[in-house]
Amino acid sequence: MNKSTRLKQLIDSAKTEYLMEAHNGLSAKIVEEAGFQGIWASGLTISAAMGVRDNNEASWTQVLSVLEFMSDATSIPILLDGDTGYGNFNNARRLVKKLEQRQIAGVCIEDKLFPKTNSFINGVAQPLADIDEFCGKIKAMKDTQQDEDFTVVARVEALIAGWGQEEALKRAEAYRQAGADAILMHSKKAEISEIEAFMKAWNGRHPVVVVPTKYYATPTERFQELGISAVIWANHNLRASVEAMQGITHKIFREESIMDVEGRVAGVDEIFRLQRADELQAAEGKYLPSPGKPAGDRP
């Protein structure tokens, strides 16, 4: 089964599924080894790992380069946080073509304006894309895909941008009719009330994905009760790595020594394992001439 089909099955599953954030090949491999069945390639964390803001400062080709390493390092499907699609319908449909070439299983685009602003920064009353224009973008992406199981998720920013439930429902329905495979409904409230109200009004008409970064205290069984298709843990690997790196770096700077650090970090052998150094050693034995073998005896 290819990656796109596996993601499609996750989104269409009768039970709530979970996707974990990754932002490079190493974190993607760690996500797969932990047991997750899908990866969320976060725009926020990929840009943060590059040291730039989540405002489309990293070009879409730079993001593609990161995705290629992530895809090569793993066998589970990746859903890209594709921001606004990096421009109009023409940019978005070219993005789909390039994602499929790299075996990326799907992309989520949001109904904001390019360049995007992160939803949690000055979130009230942010401008949103024209509904008809965004629907055209979805249609162009669906018309472009070659793999019928490639997933396009339409992210509705109406709640998080302060536009209210009525606007959220209107946009979600328009995007469903335009061909989106699922709706991502976003909220920045510290509890799940906005999502609960949406799910009640939505009444199961199409798969819904949520990102509980702010309402993280919600029991996971509540997502299943509401009929939510997938939950994205959106940025926690990046945030965990930042805290770990800050702590270790400050300690080494203060102590001018790594004597007390070695027991607190991954061993070098673990890095080699994650890099699959053993596979290269085996391949060298298979494909390189034996040491000391005369050059004239080589084929």
**CA atoms of 214 and 157, how far apart (whole Å):** 15
Catalytic residues: 54
From residue 128, how far is each of 125, 164, 198 by CA, in Å? 9, 12, 19
- Cα separation of 142 and 217, whole Å? 35
Measured distance CA(106)–CA(154) in Å, rounded: 11
Q: What is the secondary structure of 26-52 as a DSSP string?
A: HHHHHHHHHT-S-EEE-HHHHHHHTT-
156 - beta bridge partners?
185
CA 58 to chain centre: 15
- Separation of alpha carbons 298 and 289, rounded Å: 7
